[in-house]
């Protein structure tokens, strides 16, 4: 069983920055994929960024490449999402998730465990 708790969301002006944190507890594996997703009301859940817990290989959605950075601290069992140059279209609830299987995927349905989300609002 894995538990995920997101934090760090808030209100920020366009062009600003936020750092989200995802505290992970419970069983994890070296092959785990840790992912950040976001969802705005009426929209599909969108893959934002992912990282392999072991090795730290990263993946990014096209809409955030060059602006967001995902990282992890193995000692603290925490995954981070540094968000820079924020745009109003980044406004969403951001979720941390884990996929216990080997292959990378951007499909939210393939992630078994989810946090409750943290709201990010970017004003124009």
pLDDT in tens, 55-91: 889 999 999 999 999 999 988 989 999 999 999 999 9
Question: CA-CA distance, 25 to 90, in Å (whole number)?
Answer: 27
Question: CA-CA distance, 115 to 57, in Å (whole number)?
Answer: 22
- Interior/surface letters 78-92, b for 16+ CB within 10 angstroms, e for the rest: bbbbebeebeeebbb
Q: What is the mean pLDDT of the chain?
A: 93
Does residue 29 carry a pLDDT above 70?
no
Does residue 28 carry a pLDDT above 80?
no
pLDDT at 31: 58
**Residues in contact with 63: Cβ distance below 8 Å, sequence separation at least 6, in sequence order:** 46, 89
| Residue 85 CB-half CA count within 13 A | 7
Confidence band for 53, pLDDT divided at 50, 70 and 90: confident
Question: CA-CA distance, 97 to 2, in Å (whole number)?
Answer: 10
């Amino acid at each position: 069983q894995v538990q995920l708790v997101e934090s760090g969301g808030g209100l920020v002006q366009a062009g600003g920055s936020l750092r989200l944190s995802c505290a992970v507890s419970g069983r994890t594996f070296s092959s785990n994929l840790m992912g950040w997703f976001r969802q705005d009301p009426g929209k599909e859940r969108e893959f934002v960024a992912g990282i392999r817990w072991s090795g730290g290989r990263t993946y990014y959605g096209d809409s955030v490449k060059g602006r967001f950075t995902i990282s992890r601290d193995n000692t603290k069992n925490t995954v981070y999402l540094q968000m820079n140059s924020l745009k109003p279209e980044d406004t969403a609830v951001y979720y941390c998730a884990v996929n216990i299987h080997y292959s990378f995927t951007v499909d939210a349905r393939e992630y078994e465990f989810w946090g409750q989300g943290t709201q990010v609002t970017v004003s124009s």
